[in-house]
């Protein structure tokens, strides 16, 4: 793939992410602050209080310049989200990856096929509420990230994206 082709795919992918995740809500799901509180072993009341601190109403708000939301590994994060929260934060993380050309904390959570242990099965359950168009968009995203990281010269990260693709996302289809 040439730089021009990659740039064209980048623009199309960003539009695709926006289109298929446009109506996604976090209503009834775990928020990012709640995930962090859960990781800190906070009480149920403290976790609920943390959730009230999250004022965003749409995942695109997480991408605004004044936000300090960071999906990279650390405290809380994707591991502590329920399927609703995962679906809500996923498109924002994908957009950050596409914009930056590298993983921003989501690769580990999309590379579940090779992990046949309990953790991999938990992640697969988080994918169950993704619609077929959303799953196809994630498939396209992972394929894009393979190309973007190869083009940037980061063969190690490209291998991670390739593993995620071949272990699970390659099998995602219109059915």
At 118 the pLDDT is 52
Higher pLDDT, 14 or 52: 14
Number of domains observed in the structure of the chain: 1
Rounded mean pLDDT, 155-162: 95
Give Dmax over CA atoms of the chain in angstroms: 52
More confident residue, 71 or 154: 154
For position 23, what pLDDT does the model report? 97
| Mean pLDDT of the residues in the chain | 90
Tell me the average pLDDT across 164-170.
92
Give pLDDT, residue 74: 78
Question: Can you read off the two tokens belonging to residue 62?
Answer: 């997480």
* Segment 55-95, tens digit of pLDDT: 899 999 999 877 778 887 777 889 899 999 999 999 999 99
What is residue 17's predicted lDDT score, i.e. its pLDDT? 98
Q: Is the pLDDT of residue 167 over 70?
A: yes
Rounded average pLDDT over 19-25: 97
Angle of the 83-100 helix axis to the 3-21 helix axis, nearest 10:
160
In percent, how much of the chain has pLDDT > 70? Answer: 93
What is the DSSP code (8-state) at residue 58? S
**Range of 153's domain?**
3-171
- What's residue 141's pLDDT? 98
Q: Is the Cβ–Cβ distance between 169 and 141 less than 8 Å?
A: no
């Amino acid at each position: 793939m040439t730089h021009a082709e990659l740039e064209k795919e980048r623009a199309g992918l960003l539009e695709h992410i926006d289109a298929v995740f446009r109506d996604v809500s976090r209503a009834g799901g775990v928020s990012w602050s709640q995930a962090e509180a859960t990781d800190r072993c906070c009480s149920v009341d403290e976790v609920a209080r943390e959730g009230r601190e999250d004022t965003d109403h749409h995942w695109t708000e997480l991408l605004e310049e004044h936000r300090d939301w960071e999906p990279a590994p650390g405290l809380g994060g994707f591991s502590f989200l329920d399927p609703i929260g995962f679906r809500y934060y996923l498109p924002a993380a994908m957009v950050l990856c596409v914009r930056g050309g590298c993983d921003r904390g989501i690769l580990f959570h999309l590379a579940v096929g090779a992990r046949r242990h309990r953790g991999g099965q938990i992640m697969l359950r988080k994918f169950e509420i993704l619609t077929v168009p959303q799953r196809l968009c994630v498939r396209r995203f992972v394929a894009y990230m393979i190309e973007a990281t190869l083009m940037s010269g980061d063969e190690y990260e490209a291998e991670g994206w390739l593993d995620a693709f071949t272990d699970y996302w390659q099998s995602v289809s219109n059915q």
